[in-house]
Structure 1
Amino acid sequence: MNRRNFLGKAAVTGGMAFCSCNLFGTRVAKAAPARLPVVVNGKRVKTIDVHSHCMFHEANNLLGPQAAAQLEPNINGTKEVFIAVEERLKAMDSQAVDMEVLSVNPFWFTADRDVAAKICDINNQKMAEITHAHPDRFAAFASLALQDPQLAAQQLEKAMKTMGMKGAAIGDVVGDDEFSNPKFDPVWQKAEELGAVLFIHPQGVPALSKRLQGNGWLTNTVAYPLGTTIALQHLIFDGTLDKFPGLKVLGAHGGGYLPSYAPRDDHACSVAPVFCNPNIKLKKKPTEYLRQIYVDALVFTPEALRHLAAQVGPSQIMLGSDYPYPWELHPVDAIMATTSLSEKDRAAILGGNAARVMGIKG
């Protein structure tokens, strides 16, 4: 059986294969390893990873040598975040990923405004060079100096109109200001106008740093999903998504904790109206906004992905790996292993949704 036929058969059967691998004494199911091209129901699927990272020494160095050194990756000693295109392409091929949408996690929000502007310019120019040289393999989210919303709106327009970017990576908070702060409205208005995707990728919750110390890397495993959750909750409850109903927001790590316990939101203001602003009249129940938020599929297990799809809808989920950080080195396999998804849903999550939302051609 050739590779294409094998993948077609794997898709029809949910891509499941069982092994006797032992993980903490538990028999686990593994997806049959996918390779390019990926086929679902006999049709070629373009796989698009919307959650993949890169950095550039030239931009980092603008913060000075000590600060730049602190940005060095320290997970398994990987330096792959400083992207070497040919090596990245090999990694993508091994993951059955046709295209990565590159992003740089914002590290410049506390920097001087002019320094931040230069950092963003370098990031955007470098990524534009990569995407223009390999338009079939890479797309990108722009970097924005959000500490100056007017400048950020200009940067977003330039990135979308002249550099071919698909949106922007915006972190989850800017200093002490949540994204629902009206000061950021010019950015969201511009994003809505341009059809830009705003990728919310968290950077932890420093206010909880003391409680998150100890074993288990809780500053990431707890704080990162929490950061995304808080950002999305403010966009919902403060009325930002009502103000900008066409805004395309993409939440990393499955949208954080929000999809796991969203129904609690529907009761908050009726249980304790004193904690809700009577001047904010949401147009929908809080849970209904989940259907206008996009999330990545980085939730690790078929059951978690089944639940995520039930909460937000398969049309709102996109493939994500967090590469080069080794959270999920076979993201396509994880989708194929989720037997609760229909073939149509698998194809959409693997790449169809990203292509539709970001205007990526097959």
Structure 2
Amino acid sequence: MRTIGLEEHFVTPELVGYGAGSASIAQPDRWREASRKLLDLTGERLTEMDAAGLDVQVLSLNAPGIQAEPDAATAVAKATQVNDLLAGVIAEHPDRFAGFAALPLQDPKAAAKELERSVRELGLRGALVNAHTQGRYLDHPELRVVWEMAEGLGVPLYLHPANGVDTPHVLEGHPELIGPMWSWGTETASHVLRLVFGGVFDDFPEAKLLLGHMGEALPYVLWRLDSRWDFHNRHGVELAREKPSAYLRHNLYITTSGVCSAAPLLCALLALGSEHILFGTDHPFEDMATATEFLRTAPVSEADRAKIAHLNAERLLGL
């Protein structure tokens, strides 16, 4: 069975510095090993893919990527460079790699143009966004130009976590909860809900959002969201689709990246449907072979397994 992974990270020597803040949330030896693997694009990575039975990786720049750059002009230049490099790697191994563009969201118009160039000229399959950009989230009015371009091109934006702007008060004194252990998931799920209630999917009803880590727990709370929306003070917000869950079932696609557990997978299948779930390994932060073995042995139908493994990715990304 063909297997395509959608959350497969890399970094370049020139961009390593942007990820320095993430080192504090990992055990030093684990971070050193992950950092080494991030820099390897085609050597050990291909060997590991072969051993795990992973046919294709859709490569993306590791968090926080170019979004950590404070200068907009520098961000634009570096996005161009890294997307050109990624396209070159894919051209050398077209049967093994595809890619998501990095966007200089510091300059929304330039980001939209870079998305168009990356898709139309470089053959990339969408873009990956690492959380906020200097504190600005994807529901910001100035970023509507990026959503307009993504919807027009028919490509998804993949929303990936990164370190937050600040530390929520409830986490003060508990640094062990900051990062992928807990806070990244809650912040990313909140970011998605900002898009729903901020009207992004009303403005761009066919926009496609990808979310890793089995949907950052959102499939688990759809009924609760709808129930409390009916009860809640809406503060003047109206939804064209009426229920929050309607947007998550229509616009949201999730990947299994970083979650090799049957229970949340079965929940996601029931909540979102098999057409909206794709495979990912979260390389190099999770073991590739563990992820592919989970996919092969998960208690789902063979038809759903094929959709998750490759059919949904082929349809969504045009692979």
> Given residue 13 of structure 2, which amino acid in structure 1 is its aligned partner?
H
**Contact 2:49–2:288 (CA<8 Å) still a contact in 1?**
no
**Contact 2:241–2:247 (CA<8 Å) still a contact in 1?**
no
**Contact 1:204–1:227 (CA<8 Å) still a contact in 2?**
no
**Equivalents in 2 of 1:204, 1:268: separation in Å?**
29
What do the CA deviations read for 1:179-200 (whole angstroms, capped 9, x no partner)? 1122111000000011111110
Q: Where does residue 120 of structure 2 map in the other structure?
A: 161
Q: TM-score, normalised by structure 1?
A: 0.79
Match of 1:111 among 53, 57, 70: 70
Match of 1:129 among 83, 88, 111: 88
Q: Where does residue 57 of structure 2 map in the other structure?
A: 100
Q: Where does residue 280 of structure 2 map in the other structure?
A: 320
> Given residue 97 of structure 1, which amino acid in structure 2 is its aligned partner?
L
Q: What are structure 1's unaligned runs of at least 5 residues? A: 1-44, 62-66
**Equivalents in 1 of 2:291, 2:19: separation in Å?**
30
**Equivalents in 1 of 2:22, 2:192: separation in Å?**
26
**Equivalents in 2 of 1:120, 1:310: separation in Å?**
38
> Given residue 230 of structure 1, which amino acid in structure 2 is its aligned partner?
S
**Equivalents in 1 of 2:287, 2:209: separation in Å?**
22
Aligned ranges 1:274-293 → 2 under 5 Å? 276-292=234-250, 293=252
Pair 1:212–1:90, CA change in 2 (3 A): farther
What do the CA deviations read for 1:177-220 (whole angstroms, capped 9, x no partner)? 22112211100000001111111001133433661654745422
Structure (1/2) with the larger strand percentage:
1
Question: Does residue 253 of structure 1 match 2:213?
Answer: yes
CA drift at 1:161: 0.6
**Contact 1:142–1:159 (CA<8 Å) still a contact in 2?**
yes
CA drift at 1:356: 0.7
**Equivalents in 1 of 2:173, 2:49: separation in Å?**
34
> Given residue 138 of structure 1, which amino acid in structure 2 is its aligned partner?
F
CA drift at 1:327: 5.4
Range that drifts further, 71-80 or 97-106: 71-80
Structure (1/2) with the larger helix percentage:
2
- The ranges of structure 1 where at least 4 consecutive aligned residues each deviate by more than 3 angstroms after the TM superposition are 67-74, 212-218
CA drift at 1:58: 2.5
**Equivalents in 1 of 2:92, 2:223: separation in Å?**
45
> Given residue 175 of structure 1, which amino acid in structure 2 is its aligned partner?
Q
**Equivalents in 1 of 2:190, 2:89: separation in Å?**
33
The RMSD of aligned alpha carbons is: 2.1
CA drift at 1:267: 2.5
> Given residue 51 of structure 1, which amino acid in structure 2 is its aligned partner?
E
Q: TM-score, normalised by structure 2?
A: 0.90
Q: Where does residue 47 of structure 1 map in the other structure?
A: 3
Q: What are structure 2's unaligned runs of at least 5 residues? A: none
Pair 1:279–1:68, CA change in 2 (3 A): closer
**Equivalents in 2 of 1:193, 1:138: separation in Å?**
24
CA drift at 1:329: 3.9
CA drift at 1:84: 3.6
Q: Please identify the structure whose Cα radius of gyration is greater.
A: 1
Pair 1:84–1:181, CA change in 2 (3 A): closer
CA drift at 1:280: 2.7
**Contact 2:64–2:163 (CA<8 Å) still a contact in 1?**
no
**Equivalents in 1 of 2:287, 2:237: separation in Å?**
42
CA drift at 1:145: 0.5
Aligned ranges 1:287-302 → 2 under 5 Å? 287-292=245-250, 293-298=252-257, 299-302=259-262
Pair 1:351–1:183, CA change in 2 (3 A): same
Q: Where does residue 77 of structure 1 map in the other structure?
A: 32
**Equivalents in 1 of 2:16, 2:3: separation in Å?**
30
CA drift at 1:88: 0.8
Range that drifts further, 242-251 or 108-117: 108-117
**Equivalents in 1 of 2:121, 2:136: separation in Å?**
29
Q: Between Structure 1 and Structure 2, how many residues are aligned?
A: 308
* Equivalent position SS for 1:309: helix
Identity %: 28
